[in-house]
Amino acid sequence: MLFDTHAHLEDEMFDEDRDQLIRELPEKGVAYVVNVGSTLEASRMSVELATQYPFIYAAVGIHPHEVAQMNREALDAIEAMAKRDKVVAVGEVGLDYYYDFSPRELQKEWFDWQIDLAYNMRLPIIIHDRDAHADVLDILKAKKDKILGGVMHCYSGSWEMAKYFMDLGLYISLGGPVTFKNAKRPVEIAQKVPLDRLVIETDSPYLAPTPYRGRRNNPAYVRLVAEKIAEIRGMALEEIANITLDNAKKLFKIK
């Protein structure tokens, strides 16, 4: 059985078949999904999905893309949601310098605030880092006493950098890109990451693994990510599945 640590099943791309698709996940080998917030509304819907389905858990938070649209009251709303049942993390939070949809200074402020929020709620953080590795690391290092675990979601940085993130107690999550034909960095990470630091994800509906690249992703495809990592490491799929499931349960404190 597999644990998809990062999906956005509230996305409108699932509007037509969401319930059926989710109900079929257990028979496709998916035991757990963390549905991750990006806006206030998406965070609310994450909590809603976690209420509705026993194997879905929720993360609540504001994505760096969205922070320019937010006021401080949004932070209070996230805090209130973080207290709800089955909310296991604050996320996704972080920095995105690839798209720069929000001013960088504002992204940093919100990242900082949401780390504090997670600390106050005693929750781990789900970190989005795109082309901002050095600044993400700087902020995390400066706040390391306030980090109660977390994960580098769909990690795309170097192995050198990954070691610093792991030193801060963070897990490294690999997704669809590790299966892509030209993948280099994620493959190196898959080879080198200590097995007790590795978790897997889909980031559905985005980043579908090969052979579904470019199409809608869904949590059942997390199996293709696990298969690729198993192949890279010369291990059995079941081993990678079991190890990453146990790690994710520890990360999100799921009994």
Q: Which residues bind Ni ion (CB under 5 A)?
A: 203
Instruction: Tell me the closest approach of the beta carbon of residue 126 to Ni ion, in angstroms.
Output: 8
Nearer to Ni ion, 4 or 203 (CB): 203
CB 235 → Ni ion: shortest distance, Å?
A: 27
Give the C-alpha separation, 218 to 255, whole Å: 24
Structure tokens at 181: 């034909």
Please, what is the minimum distance in Å from the beta carbon of residue 56 to Ni ion? Answer: 15
Q: How far apart are CA 59 and CA 89, in angstroms?
A: 5
Structural tokens at position 178: 């590790």
Whose Cβ is closer to Ni ion: residue 56's or residue 235's? 56
Q: Can you read off the two tokens belonging to residue 131?
A: 């082309």
**Minimum CB distance to Ni ion smaller for 121 or for 201:** 201
> In terms of CB distance, is 129 or 203 closer to Ni ion?
203
Q: Which is nearer to Ni ion, 10 or 203 (CB)?
A: 203
Number of helical (H) and strand (E) elements in the chain, helices listed first: 9, 8
Rounded least distance, CB 116 to Ni ion, Å? 21
Q: How far is the CB of 128 from Ni ion (least distance, A)?
A: 6
- What tokens does 42 get? 């998406």
According to DSSP, residue 204 is labeled B
User: Structure tokens of 168?
Assistant: 């801060």
Nearer to Ni ion, 214 or 234 (CB): 214
CB 111 within 8 A of CB 94: yes
CB 33 within 8 A of CB 221: no
User: What is the chain's Cα-based Rg?
Assistant: 17
Helix (H) or strand (E) holding 32: strand 30-36
Nearer to Ni ion, 68 or 142 (CB): 68
Question: Does residue 128 contact residue 99 with C-beta atoms inside 8 Å?
Answer: no
- Angle, helices 133-142/159-167, rounded to nearest 10 degrees: 20
State the minimum distance, in angstroms, from the CB of residue 232 to Ni ion.
23
Name the residue whose CB lies closest to Ni ion: 203
Residue 33 DSSP label: E
CB 6 to Ni ion: min, Å: 6
